[in-house]
Amino acid sequence: MKIKIVRFDINKQPQQKEFEYEVSHSRLLDALHEIKTKQDNSLTFRQGCGSGVCGSCAVRVNG
């Protein structure tokens, strides 16, 4: 799985980072946790229940 993350800083132009992720889980949320713990601990995202019920961890995928 390739994951492209666009990072924003109001004082800079948006920057895109690309990560290669070996899929051991099928959820994007798991991939984001893996990237944060093993590749880029500055990655920050919001999540809630993680079950798709509350909508807190909704993201735009492929677009």
Q: For the segment 24-52, what is each residue's pLDDT rounded down to a tens digit?
A: 667 788 888 888 998 889 888 888 777 77
Can you give the pLDDT at residue 56? 74
CA distances from 26 to 4, 23, 35 (A): 17, 7, 14
Tell me what pLDDT residue 24 has. Answer: 66
Q: Is 15 in contact with 7 (CB distance < 8 Å)?
A: yes
Tokens standing for 39? 């590749």
Indicate the pTM of the whole model: 0.66
Distance CA 27, CA 49 (A): 13
Q: Which CATH class is domain 1-63?
A: alpha beta
Average confidence (pLDDT) over 1-8 = 78
Beta bridge partners of 16: 6
- Give me the residue spans of the domains in the chain: 1-63
